[in-house]
Amino acid sequence: MFGIPELDELVFQQLNRQELARCMRVNKKWHEAAVPFLWSDLTYLEQLPRKQRQAFGKLVLEDYLQAQQHRKLKEEGQDMGHPTSPISNLAKYGRCIRLLKAKGLITLLESNNRLQQAQEERPTCYELFLHFLDYCPKAQVSSLHYGYLEYVSPNLLPMVVERVLPRVLDLEIRAAMKVRQLMELLDRCSSNLMSLEIDVELEDSKNEMDDQQEEEIPASKGWTSLTHLKLGEWGDHPGYTMLRRWLLRRCNCVQKIEVCKASIISPRFVKDALTYMPNLKEVVIKGALRGNNAAAILSASRHGWRSVTIEYRSLDKAAKMSLARHFSTLEMLDVSLCGGFTGDELVQVLSSCPHLRTLNDHVADETPIHASTLIDQDPSTGLLKAWACETSLKVLQTKITGIPRPDLKMIGLLDTFLVEEAYEGQGREMQGLVYD
């Protein structure tokens, strides 16, 4: 449109699909400038109306059948003098595609394939998907659930893995497989991988694991873009020991880790995390943990946690002591699903975290914190004690009780958390002190 690619990109990237479509209808020059940006992001395919999804699926299917026909004629030596077919939209604009969603596209192709008339050699949705990728050399796959590929035929699966995994940005592996198979899959991922979730059940027998332990672990390249690692339920399989070190060596850029199973936590895990993941800043702890596992995880950050989310039943004393070591760097703390803090503990957190911005301590089923605990006045001056997070705190979610309500009477009320005013204006006075 402007004759300057950088300026076109700066303008058209700000427009949604409807606005881009209107720009394409202005004239031929505007059409040529805007259409690549309409094709650049195909993650929205699942949201299209049914007729548009069918039209897109038909486009891919017809292009596939045409390509197969040309290939067959070429093999038979009959394509000489064959009239040149018009360039398809896939061939014309596939190079413009930058991002797509594997599951959404495969589902679309599968549903459209069912609507077509029965054919003797009708392609599968995965064959159509691979054909589509041939036209998209620069496209990346926003997310992929490996379990979704279980329905691929065995002769086609290696090709799908080889062609798709290097493009994936967010990979989720939930399946049963052997250690070497998992390593080979992960080894195909490119350095562009940004998020990885592993929740596998290892199938190696004890004899197989003994043989593999004697082998040298293959050298592995790091994922320079991987910032989020989620470790699910691996179980107590001995293959975890070899897999853990192989995996963590590649995660030196990880900033956020989610731990969902107690059995993967060990002193060695913490040591390897400190060694291979020096940039850890965020942690999410889920599931039922054993013993001091929570405390062990909380000690696995070299420079201090900035964000901590704990989602299990209760925080033990050791975990709270480990958490206290990160008060100087903590910016977000969510303990709403683990029983929360007592009043004194909450005050200690607020008084000791100079960078704290968000604190979620609201637990629906637990006893609320009494307002008098938060009103920590200095006995000598009568002034409220200063909290370290006074200037940084933006969000505080907790349940507070003990503030008198002049509009409520205790007679006939069963809620023991409601109190009457001892003198007029006491409730408003206490509420003001809590807000202060």
pLDDT value of residue 172: 92
pLDDT in tens, 65-75: 888 888 888 77
Average pLDDT over residues 146-164: 83
Token pair 């949705």 is at which residue?
A: 125
For residue 167, the number of C-alpha atoms closer than 13 Å in the C-beta half-sphere is: 23
pLDDT value of residue 168: 93
The H-or-E segment that residue 352 falls in is helix 343-352
pLDDT value of residue 256: 93
Q: Where are the beta strands (DSSP E) in 209-346?
A: 228-231, 256-259, 282-286, 307-311, 332-334
Token pair 């997310």 is at which residue?
A: 143
d(CA 47, CA 106): 14
d(CA 249, CA 410): 62
User: What percent of the chain is predicted at pLDDT more than 70?
Assistant: 76
Strands 282-286 and 358-360: unpaired
Q: Kindly tell me if the per-residue pLDDT of 306 is higher than 60.
A: yes
d(CA 343, CA 387): 14
d(CA 129, CA 143): 15
Question: Rounded mean pLDDT of the chain?
Answer: 79
Average pLDDT over residues 271-281: 87
pTM assigned to the model: 0.81
Q: Kindly tell me if the per-residue pLDDT of 94 is higher than 60.
A: yes
Would you state the structure tokens that stand for residue 107, as one six-digit string? Answer: 């589902």
Whether 312 and 286 have beta carbons less than 8 Å apart is answered as yes
| Crossing angle of the two packed helices 28-39 and 5-12, in degrees rounded to 10 | 70
d(CA 321, CA 304): 14
| Crossing angle of the two packed helices 50-75 and 125-134, in degrees rounded to 10 | 80
Average pLDDT over residues 360-374: 70
Would you state the structure tokens that stand for residue 424, as one six-digit string? Answer: 């007029």
d(CA 418, CA 365): 17
